[in-house]
Structure 1
């Protein structure tokens, strides 16, 4: 009853606050607040955003129908300084009394404090002043609406406005638009003064953006002008500008039709004090000069070294430090080719991608000795970056493993290390931390540590014994990366040494498309403290301990409280149980659970050796960071161990008792893996976005393995997955999720999110996440955890909730509250909305959006 009373009181209080807000508080006498605007097109009301954007005045923004920002603004004191001074003007003795125990300077400074001044500045900045109806702006809105429809082919459009009073201080504006019939394009002709452009136009007009029968749209004419200009400039017309294209549109004697004549004049240029014109010419590249060590801030550019290489000329103020091919491979401007803008852009992009130069400068000069006056010299100025650069960063961390941690990450970059524009990156990381959960007999504060080193060598080409130019041309900006790494952990989990190696090719088949081929991806994981397993995976220990309390018969395995001793008791009891030296039989559920716990312990505590190859392809239509109407697709195929199996069979290696091969006295992993990730965003206007993500991944063991290594398996839950579950706590299937780190070899994930603006840079989201993980084609036999057929999809878990995001421009801080909406593991029979309350919600903190 108390809870109900508290909720009722809360709702009443909120109602009083809302009712107390006066939207017209700051509306001057004789003026009206713009309560609403309506636009009717040919008698039908429209909410089209493009049309409403033409209005100079719009009502104050609302949140769920409430003018939150307007009311925040109304709460602010617009003149806090005057109000503060008035306190003392009306009561002089008050100033003297305050000055005695604060000082006059502090009293004056108090007026600038947050409570007297800052809070009102915040309310004014966060809030929104009332939108007052202005007849001048209404007329400007009418004119802009006419212009909008005129640009879309409605030359006879009629727009009227109407001002209605709702209350003495509230009004609304209604706009009536009668479009009449739109004009269509009829005949399209062209008048071109320059003969060489006239010849180019005959091939350029194959894919025009303005065609007979299309509705007249100004944007189409602008896009066609840019298309033609780009075409001409990519086919030799060096001096051509879009301003040379003029449209002559004739509607005389036509009923809702327009003839279009495309006029392209000659080149107009300034010669001293007079303006001259001449036909446009098509220019060829006669020479390409590359200045390898240009100094932009000095006039001393004395050339002391030069090299001629395959129609390129390289110059250096000092001795040239680069192999010519390393530079010329990045140049797409070739001697004898017509001038082309796209070659300039591609060259600049490739040179910047080398990461050894600052942004290049590419200039063209007319060859004065050429009698035809249609030759260009391309001059490419390169300013080298420093050969050595050093960076370092440090962090203070807190996690469920470390109560306190300090990390330090230094990095060294060496450019042009082999004189072929290669880049070597060497980075190290060191972390020391404190964890009170660990056994700490020496009472050391820093009892957790991790350190590692990575080296990456980047080649700006495909590093291969044979030429790959025909398969992967240099226009795809190919590169090769060779990397090795080592990491060591102490007092973290089972303690590990992790050795990695990678040999990767990267290239861009098309703009916004990327391809990556990992020829070799090697990982060797060595567990240094496998006996610590039951200290780390406490849920496995608790489950085993409960069984032992019933079936253990060896008193040496337990302590005074009858709990299994780690590691003597846990290993001893599992060995007794599995060798049938207890009362357990293979038919007992408890026996199967002990077997499952043992298999999991052996899998998670054993060393892993993985030699994999993979291919990854990704595509996106996203134009920039502000683009909210795009899709992304990523696919990855990976194969591991097959090469090692082929070698093992070829050289005739013997298999061990388990029927598997060993390399370096270690069973290697063998599996095939495929992943597909698709993201789609829809811009719903006014900073409202609907986002969708789907993911499917499966890894199938075969040959030398009957399960997937932990580092290559899937988990569910977390801030970027199903947000109603903690990481690793969901699945597999409809199991109870009692283990610490639940994983499997197949995953399905679906997420949908509606994002909207709340207040300034504060944004909100409503989301729903569905998905789960399963075991399939591996050694797990638990029916609840395996994916058998499409009927297993009924075990998809559903989480829903809401989130808050604050946009800091360079990244977004995110808080999400997830609620278990459908829990397939709930055996009570009530799987829907059983834990749908804040007490069982999951708070997720993240940086940037989840997808």
Structure 2
């Protein structure tokens, strides 16, 4: 041991020296690699990301504190072309021998090939050159820091910097800020030349962002400028712009206070070659003209059809193809109203949402017939989209169940089908795929086949017998969707045929952050075409029955004489019937009897045809402003009720009822589901800058059967595991509770989950993440009584499974390809003393593939 320790120490020292030198191999002599920035404000180290990001030079990016991209860049040959030529000339005959095989041109191309130069170029592109300390950029950072603190009220701040050496060719830059005392607003007065807008300003003066006594903040002045402009332009002041709002500050350095004067001068108007001052005018709308089939004002004189409807003038270069009322549902600009930017924006957005016009063009011109010069004519130009559209598509897909799939789709769209901007879409789809989760006796690659047809009618208003305009106003962009669909699946489980249809309503708030969806009626009928395939699909159930049959079976007709195993379907059903009818030695108190009873109940539940008639209401709120917003939250809540309508229908019409094998009522020969289901989903993300962020998701859902049902339909139940859930387990393999996922597809009616992951950039378009997923599913208030499966209270939270791991992502800009490596950190299926960290090793890695982020 004494001899080994010095060797280990020596190797460590040598490794550290090599590592240290390798990072600065591309740093020129007398230059320094920037390894650290420090900002001290009033002798306090500033760690805020937004302030540190002000600096123009940042150290090289790191991956777990290691500058990976810099190391990749340093691995590349500095001049691969020169190295290639040097290699050619190293031996006298090398170039000549190569010419016997290749021409001079080919030899030159070889030097630029991937074999010679391509790998180095790839390393340079993926990597990152060393950040060399630049005094000019440090000066620029100094100016930015001064500007930042100045804009936050420290008008007399001072900033300096110094560069220190921290090792071989390494340096850090330290910025020192002395802020001084902040300046505060002493008073606010105004000088507004146009009396009309002075009066207009006073109506919302209390909403000002600038208040005496507050610390000076430039952002408040910028926000106030925007507020005033928005207020004026929504109150008829058509010509007002942000640059008309100016401020004058009288600075009193002795008490660090500012007297602010808000100045709005009359607007400058060009009259010939001179500029003259004119007071601002408050305009009203005198006409609203709507041109359809028009591309510009030049076509106004080609009008062939026109109509006046509710003070709106409609014109068309051909026959008017729209009911005027339908278009007016999307127009918020009214004759006689004041000019308003908000009305224009709402009109533009609403007309665009109709999906029958290209993006609308809205213009305002002064009315030449108004002697008071206070009127505007509004012209709305609408260009029709093609009435008929045909769109084919083909996709490669992957999911938790289907490892690989090819799907195709053809959709036909008929716009303005009833002349009221309704759109009818009819689509057909097909899919072939491969899954290892389903029985595949012929061992073919494509063992999944699915096709279907769907029809959707989109109506840009609430289609309902009662008037809902007072509750759901047109500013909420209401719409109705009536849909119907038929799907046929082959080699997927029991082979299903499903028929769906319904009517739902959608609306949102004007800012788009709050969205609502009300399913008035949603019908889903599922028919199993191949129930005899059940025990080929659910092999775990079959294997368990087979084990028990070897002990308790007394009926030889249940057994295959060649294999001594239960005959699939006839043998399994016969054995279960014998046990449950008392023909074997098992009694109702035996655990094996309970196991067979549970398998029997699950079989009956999953092979029977199912009818779900439900209504639901969903609310979604998102603060995400655009696709690049990395700091936001998203909240979803939904409640669904099923079976009540059919129950009332059956009782009201005195329809003949019959009982299913499970003892539930059937209508029209079909068992219907009855349950209430509610769920909440919350996602929050924090942006740390430099492509680093922290994301969190919390989900809770429960579906409680009642009335005509003792369990939840499989399609409405919850599962755990998979690429978008707890990534330490495969989909459907976790739970319920601490049961250990004994079924082939484990599901239940209660689910709790929490996930968090830290996302960061590795280099180029490569990103990574470390994650922790917590969650499980349980049976609750249904027909399952085994305590291993059921949720019994706070104590059951011990069954929450914990999965953790690391992921690698590649950003293609329009989507993200994701690979996550998950591990069972806490496995509730194990004995209590063996639950933690027994599943963390490379041999037990759960590989998850996905498109885009999991939440």
772-781 vs 650-659, greater mean Cα deviation: 650-659
Alignment partner, residue 621 of structure 1: 623
Deviation of 1:492 after TM superposition, in Å, equals 2.2
Deviation of 1:364 after TM superposition, in Å, equals 0.3
Instruction: Say whether residues 1:160 and 2:164 are aligned partners.
Output: no
Alignment partner, residue 514 of structure 1: 515
Partners of 1:687 and 1:431 in 2: CA distance: 37
Alignment partner, residue 721 of structure 2: 717
Match of 1:632 among 631, 634, 659: 634
Deviation of 1:840 after TM superposition, in Å, equals 1.1
Alignment partner, residue 3 of structure 2: none
C-alpha change, 1:398 and 1:66, in structure 2 (3 Å) is closer
Give per-residue Cα distances to partners, 1:330-383, cap 9 Å, x unaligned.
Answer: 000000100000111100100110001110000001001111101001100000
Instruction: Say whether residues 1:579 and 2:578 are aligned partners.
Output: no
Deviation of 1:164 after TM superposition, in Å, equals 2.2
Instruction: Say whether residues 1:542 and 2:543 are aligned partners.
Output: yes
Alignment partner, residue 317 of structure 1: 317
Alignment partner, residue 5 of structure 2: none
Instruction: Say whether residues 1:830 and 2:834 are aligned partners.
Output: yes
SS of 1:834's equivalent in the other structure is: strand
C-alpha change, 1:14 and 1:250, in structure 2 (3 Å) is same
Alignment partner, residue 687 of structure 1: 691
Partners of 1:445 and 1:148 in 2: CA distance: 62
550-559 vs 669-678, greater mean Cα deviation: 550-559
Deviation of 1:448 after TM superposition, in Å, equals 4.8
SS of 2:55's equivalent in the other structure is: coil
Alignment partner, residue 767 of structure 2: 763
SS of 1:829's equivalent in the other structure is: helix
Deviation of 1:680 after TM superposition, in Å, equals 0.9
Give per-residue Cα distances to partners, 1:413-465, cap 9 Å, x unaligned.
Answer: 11001111000111101234678976778x99977532110000000000012
Partners of 2:807 and 2:789 in 1: CA distance: 31
1:21–1:71 Cα contact (<8 Å) kept:
no
Alignment partner, residue 608 of structure 2: 606
SS of 2:838's equivalent in the other structure is: coil
Match of 1:735 among 736, 739, 745: 739
Partners of 2:616 and 2:854 in 1: CA distance: 25
Alignment partner, residue 822 of structure 2: 818
Deviation of 1:401 after TM superposition, in Å, equals 7.5
Alignment partner, residue 415 of structure 2: 415
TM-score, with length taken from structure 1: 0.95
1:401–1:492 Cα contact (<8 Å) kept:
no
Partners of 1:657 and 1:13 in 2: CA distance: 80
Give per-residue Cα distances to partners, 1:801-822, cap 9 Å, x unaligned.
Answer: 1111111111111111111111
Deviation of 1:756 after TM superposition, in Å, equals 1.4
2:399–2:850 Cα contact (<8 Å) kept:
no
Partners of 1:746 and 1:144 in 2: CA distance: 54
Instruction: Say whether residues 1:645 and 2:647 are aligned partners.
Output: yes
Partners of 2:833 and 2:346 in 1: CA distance: 62
Partners of 2:510 and 2:707 in 1: CA distance: 37
Unmatched tracts of structure 2, length 5 or more: 1-7
Partners of 1:671 and 1:276 in 2: CA distance: 73
C-alpha change, 1:545 and 1:394, in structure 2 (3 Å) is same
Partners of 2:66 and 2:623 in 1: CA distance: 36
Partners of 1:404 and 1:224 in 2: CA distance: 55
Partners of 1:776 and 1:815 in 2: CA distance: 34
1:577–1:591 Cα contact (<8 Å) kept:
yes
C-alpha change, 1:72 and 1:607, in structure 2 (3 Å) is same
654-663 vs 259-268, greater mean Cα deviation: 654-663
1:188–1:260 Cα contact (<8 Å) kept:
yes
Partners of 2:66 and 2:434 in 1: CA distance: 49
Partners of 1:301 and 1:499 in 2: CA distance: 52
Alignment partner, residue 843 of structure 1: 847
SS of 2:23's equivalent in the other structure is: coil
Partners of 2:491 and 2:202 in 1: CA distance: 74
The equivalences for 1:413-492 within 5 A come to 413-432=413-432, 448-492=448-492
Moved over 6 A (4+): 11-14, 398-404, 434-437, 443-447
Partners of 2:15 and 2:321 in 1: CA distance: 75
SS of 2:368's equivalent in the other structure is: coil
Alignment partner, residue 144 of structure 1: 144
Alignment partner, residue 4 of structure 2: none
Partners of 2:37 and 2:45 in 1: CA distance: 11
Partners of 2:604 and 2:12 in 1: CA distance: 60
TM-score, with length taken from structure 2: 0.95
Give per-residue Cα distances to partners, 1:658-706, cap 9 Å, x unaligned.
Answer: 6643221112111111111111111223322111111111111111111
Deviation of 1:121 after TM superposition, in Å, equals 1.4
Give per-residue Cα distances to partners, 1:623-654, cap 9 Å, x unaligned.
Answer: 11221211111110111011111122222345
Partners of 2:166 and 2:696 in 1: CA distance: 41
1:767–1:801 Cα contact (<8 Å) kept:
yes
344-353 vs 623-632, greater mean Cα deviation: 623-632
Partners of 1:773 and 1:14 in 2: CA distance: 53
SS of 1:833's equivalent in the other structure is: strand
2:62–2:69 Cα contact (<8 Å) kept:
yes
Alignment partner, residue 276 of structure 2: 276
C-alpha change, 1:71 and 1:444, in structure 2 (3 Å) is closer
Instruction: Say whether residues 1:255 and 2:258 are aligned partners.
Output: no
Alignment partner, residue 554 of structure 1: 555
Unmatched tracts of structure 1, length 5 or more: 1-7
SS of 1:733's equivalent in the other structure is: coil
Instruction: Say whether residues 1:356 and 2:356 are aligned partners.
Output: yes
131-140 vs 579-588, greater mean Cα deviation: 131-140
644-653 vs 359-368, greater mean Cα deviation: 644-653
SS of 1:56's equivalent in the other structure is: coil
583-592 vs 76-85, greater mean Cα deviation: 76-85
2:150–2:157 Cα contact (<8 Å) kept:
yes
1:285–1:337 Cα contact (<8 Å) kept:
yes
Partners of 1:405 and 1:165 in 2: CA distance: 57
**Could you say what the CA RMSD is over the residues aligned between the two structures, in angstroms?**
2.3
Give per-residue Cα distances to partners, 1:75-126, cap 9 Å, x unaligned.
Answer: 2223222222233345452111112134433322211111211112112222
SS of 1:470's equivalent in the other structure is: coil
Instruction: Say whether residues 1:287 and 2:287 are aligned partners.
Output: yes
Partners of 2:17 and 2:98 in 1: CA distance: 33
Give per-residue Cα distances to partners, 1:771-822, cap 9 Å, x unaligned.
Answer: 1111111111111111111221111111111111111111111111111111
Partners of 2:564 and 2:665 in 1: CA distance: 42
Partners of 1:244 and 1:398 in 2: CA distance: 56
Partners of 2:253 and 2:31 in 1: CA distance: 49
C-alpha change, 1:392 and 1:383, in structure 2 (3 Å) is same
Deviation of 1:191 after TM superposition, in Å, equals 0.8
Partners of 1:237 and 1:516 in 2: CA distance: 37
| Structure of greater relative contact order (alpha carbons < 8 Å, 6+ residues apart) | 2
C-alpha change, 1:14 and 1:539, in structure 2 (3 Å) is farther
Deviation of 1:489 after TM superposition, in Å, equals 1.6
Partners of 2:289 and 2:220 in 1: CA distance: 39
SS of 2:203's equivalent in the other structure is: helix
C-alpha change, 1:677 and 1:168, in structure 2 (3 Å) is closer
Partners of 1:382 and 1:92 in 2: CA distance: 75
1:609–1:667 Cα contact (<8 Å) kept:
yes
Alignment partner, residue 502 of structure 1: 502
Deviation of 1:25 after TM superposition, in Å, equals 1.6
Instruction: Say whether residues 1:131 and 2:131 are aligned partners.
Output: yes
C-alpha change, 1:298 and 1:566, in structure 2 (3 Å) is farther
SS of 2:833's equivalent in the other structure is: coil
Partners of 2:145 and 2:395 in 1: CA distance: 55
Partners of 2:155 and 2:66 in 1: CA distance: 39
Partners of 2:45 and 2:192 in 1: CA distance: 46
